[in-house]
């Protein structure tokens, strides 16, 4: 895939804009911030297009997205752990018929996700929300697929444990 012209980047955005936005949204829980960061990612990738040495454009974009997130967190030093009105509103809007249990379950998952450390959260978003193969996630995180599998096991255990603790407290 070549990334030389504006048209190449328009195609890139059409293909990866939404996944990158989702990735950023689940990392920040702020739709507007995720939107701004998505623009930042594509602006940065456009400026850095000469550094794209072929290979996976997807992995390259996700790496830029992670760097944009790190930069943002460095500036803000805040996490978005509070309420989740945006998720709930979206789920309500998209649900085929209102399903309280389904919404509650998804809400729990979303909250559990946000209890994770950033590196595990990234693995869960890429592996189970974006449904990327372990090898692709390894490419993005610049680690091994085996390491990704270990991290996903830790993340899933932590999430399930957190949900069970929350249910026990109710």
Partner 1 sequence: MKRRPAAELKQELQDAGAAPKDAAKLSQFASGLSRLQAGSPKLVGSAQWRPRRRATWPLVPTVALAGVGGLFAGLILVALAQTSFPGSLLYPLKRTSEAVALQAQPDFRGVLMMRRAQEVRELVGHNGSPDLVASTLHDYASDAVAYKAQTTQNYAAFRYCQANLQQAESQASGQERQQIASTLADIPVDTN
Binding of partner 1 by 33 (CB under 8 A): no
Interaction pattern, residues 137-156, with partner 1; x per rule: CB under 8 A: ---------x--xx-xx--x
Total residues interacting with partner 1, rule: CB under 8 A? 48
Toward partner 1, which CB reaches closer, 74 or 168?
168
In SS3 terms, 122-154 reads as: HHHHHHHHCCCCHHHHHHHHCCCHHHHHHHHHH
Toward partner 1, which CB reaches closer, 25 or 66?
25
In SS3 terms, 58-118 reads as: HHHHHHHHHHHHHHHHHHHCCCCCCCCHHHHHHHHHHCCCCCHHHHHHHHHHHHHHCCCCH
Q: Are 114 and 29 contacting, i.e. CB atoms less than 8 angstroms apart?
A: yes
Binding of partner 1 by 62 (CB under 8 A): no
Toward partner 1, which CB reaches closer, 13 or 52?
13
Q: Are 44 and 68 contacting, i.e. CB atoms less than 8 angstroms apart?
A: yes
Provide the binding-site residues for partner 1, judged by CB under 8 A: 6, 9-10, 13-14, 17-18, 21-22, 25-26, 31, 34-35, 38-39, 42-43, 46, 86-87, 90-91, 94, 102, 105-106, 109-110, 113, 124, 127-134, 146, 149-150, 152-153, 156-157, 159-160
């Amino acid at each position: 895939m070549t990334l030389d012209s504006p048209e190449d980047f328009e195609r890139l955005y059409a293909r990866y804009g939404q996944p990158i936005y989702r990735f950023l949204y689940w990392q920040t829980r702020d739709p507007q911030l995720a939107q701004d960061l998505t623009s930042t990612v594509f602006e940065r990738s456009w400026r850095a297009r000469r550094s794209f040495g072929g290979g996976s454009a997807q992995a390259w974009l996700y790496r830029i997205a992670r760097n944009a997130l790190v930069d943002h967190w460095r500036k803000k030093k805040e996490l978005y752990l509070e309420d989740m009105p945006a998720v709930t509103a979206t789920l309500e809007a998209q649900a085929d018929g209102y399903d309280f249990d389904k919404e509650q379950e998804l809400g729990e998952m979303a909250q559990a996700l946000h209890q994770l450390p950033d590196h595990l959260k990234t693995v869960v978003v890429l592996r189970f929300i974006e449904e990327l193969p372990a090898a692709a996630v390894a490419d993005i995180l610049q680690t091994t697929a085996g390491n990704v599998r270990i991290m996903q096991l830790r993340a899933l255990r932590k999430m399930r444990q957190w949900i069970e603790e929350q249910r026990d407290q109710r």
